[in-house]
Amino acid sequence: MTKINTTLTKNPKNLPPSDKLGFGQYFTDHMFVAKYREGQGWYDAEILPYSPLALDPAASVFHYGQALFEGMKAFRQDSGEIVFFRPEFNYDRLCEGAARLCLEAPPKELFMEGLKKLVEADERWIPNGPNTSLYIRPTLIGSEGFLGVRPSHETIFFIILSPVGSYYAEGAKPVRIWAEETYLRAAPGGLGAVKAGANYASSLKAALAARQKGYAQVLWLDVEHQGIEEVGTMNVFFVMDKEIVTPALNGSILAGGTRGSVIQYLKSKNLPIVERKITITEVIEKIKSGELKEAFGTGTAAVVSPIGVIHYQGKDWDINKGETGPLSTQIFTEITSIQRGTKADPFNWITKLK
């Protein structure tokens, strides 16, 4: 394997207060960087002090959107053990996304070793307050400098770390969401199924407009403005009388890691989880009829984010009277307890650092 060199910082930063971490605002002392060039392979893999990346201004990430990332977490369990949550899932998804974006994915060993060495170097940064964790951001970018439109022959893989608290300033309070009929996140044949920066580029304006109208997130619909796709940067679940529905993966929806964990957990409890197409019309009808009991988003950052209100075509529709429902609470508690090691891990989700 490509050797990983380590250069530790001579100027370690002060740790931020663990009750004011927010999300993605603080970065640790170090980062992992490795480079790839066609014909040469991976080279210059290193742990080094967190510092700016120097890139040719003609690099394809600046012009042709070759940018892909993963989001994952490490935890300091009460026993003192440092653990990762499903790192293999993130590695596999990074590989799928790299193929779609014509970027080179790092070998699995390089990914895992870089990740472990980096977290070891920054172990003191892993917070242990309630709902805190070390957020991990592996990223692939096209770095070759050229302007003809074609895939870059060079890739940079890097990992940065950020100690985080709750994703939402509101905490676990249910969010108000806006069913979006003007802007589109992704379409079939596009990049929606991979964690490409391009999907987020399209979403920023709609999210900003929703926030200005008082809604925390956008409920993304498909090209026909009917099928429900995702909520903000999360997958979405609807709890009904007879089934729990999450939109089936259709090529434009991201296969979220937490989405998979929630499905696995619900199945283990023999709860009627169904992956199928669900439209905004059906959701509104089932709110009207009282059949829709709860709705929530799932993602690495927030884990579970209950939905209190859906705005659709000029009207706010309350879900569960705007309160967090029992299943949202149960799933959040279950997954975070496994992450923190206060409950056993029957799903083999946890990987120890050492």
Binding part of the chain for its own copies, among 12-20, 58-66, 304-312, 327-335 by CB under 8 A, reads: 58-66
- C-alpha dihedral (229, 160, 66, 198), degrees to nearest 10: 30
Candidates 13-21, 87-95, 193-201, 288-296; binding stretch for its own copies (CB under 8 A): 193-201
Task: Name which position in 29, 34, 46, 69 contacts its own copies (CB under 8 A).
Answer: 69
Please list, residue by residue across 101-128, b when 16 or more beta carbons sit within 10 angstroms of its beta carbon and e when fewer do: bebbbbbeebbbbbbbbbbebbeebbbe
Q: Identify the bridge partners of residue 310 per DSSP, sorted by sequence position.
A: 177, 317
Is 62 one of the binding residues for its own copies (CB under 8 A)? yes
Rule CB under 8 A: say whether 94 interacts with its own copies.
no
Identity of the residue, 259 or 286, whose beta carbon is nearer to its own copies in the bound complex: 259
Question: In this complex, which beta carbon is closest to its own copies, that of residue 218 or of residue 304?
Answer: 218
Q: How far is CA 59 from CA 189, 247, 299, in A?
A: 25, 36, 31
d(CA 350, CA 354): 12
**H-type helices in 65-163, by residue range?**
87-101, 108-121
By the rule CB under 8 A, 295 interacts with its own copies: no
Query: Residues 158, 115: contact at Cβ < 8 Å?
Result: no
For 23-61, letters b (16+ CB in 10 Å) and e give beebbbbbbbbbbbbeeeebeebbbbbeeeeebeeebbb
In this chain, which stretch among 4-12, 115-123, 133-141, 318-326 interacts with its own copies, using CB under 8 A? 133-141
Residues 199-238 that bind its own copies (CB under 8 A): 199-205, 207-208, 223, 232-233
> Residue 20 interacts with its own copies (CB under 8 A)?
no
Q: Which residue has the tokens 């997130």?
A: 217
Nearer to its own copies, 178 or 265 (CB): 178
Q: Which is nearer to its own copies, 202 or 330 (CB)?
A: 202
Q: Does 141 bind its own copies (CB under 8 A)?
A: yes
User: Of the listed pieces 4-12, 72-80, 155-163, 272-280, which binds its own copies according to CB under 8 A?
Assistant: 155-163
For its own copies, which is the closer residue by CB, 67 or 126? 67
Residue from 12, 145, 260, 322 touching its own copies (CB under 8 A): that is 145
13 contributes a contact to its own copies by CB under 8 A: no
> Rule CB under 8 A: is residue 257 a binding residue for its own copies?
no
CB 296 within 8 A of CB 216: no
Give the integer Cα–Cα distance in Å for 233 and 167: 11
Beta bridge partners of 56: none
Non-local CB neighbours of 51 within 8 Å, separated by 6+ positions? 31
| 182 binding its own copies? (CB under 8 A) | yes
Q: How many residues bind its own copies, per CB under 8 A?
A: 64
Give the shortest CB-180-to-its own copies separation in angstroms: 8
**Does residue 191 touch its own copies according to CB under 8 A?**
yes
Smallest gap from Cβ 223 to its own copies, in A, equals 5
- Within 13 Å and on the Cβ side, how many CA atoms surround 234? 27
Q: Is 90 in the site for its own copies (CB under 8 A)?
A: no
Using rule CB under 8 A, residue 186 touches its own copies: yes
Q: Whose CA is closest to 138, among 178, 103, 166?
A: 103
Q: Are strands 175-179 and 303-312 parallel, antiparallel or unpaired?
A: parallel
302 half-sphere exposure, CB direction, 13 A CA radius:
27
Q: Which residues bind its own copies (CB under 8 A)?
A: 22-25, 27, 31, 50, 52-58, 61-67, 69, 100-102, 135, 137, 139, 141, 145-151, 158, 160, 162, 167, 182-184, 186-191, 196-205, 207-208, 223, 232-233
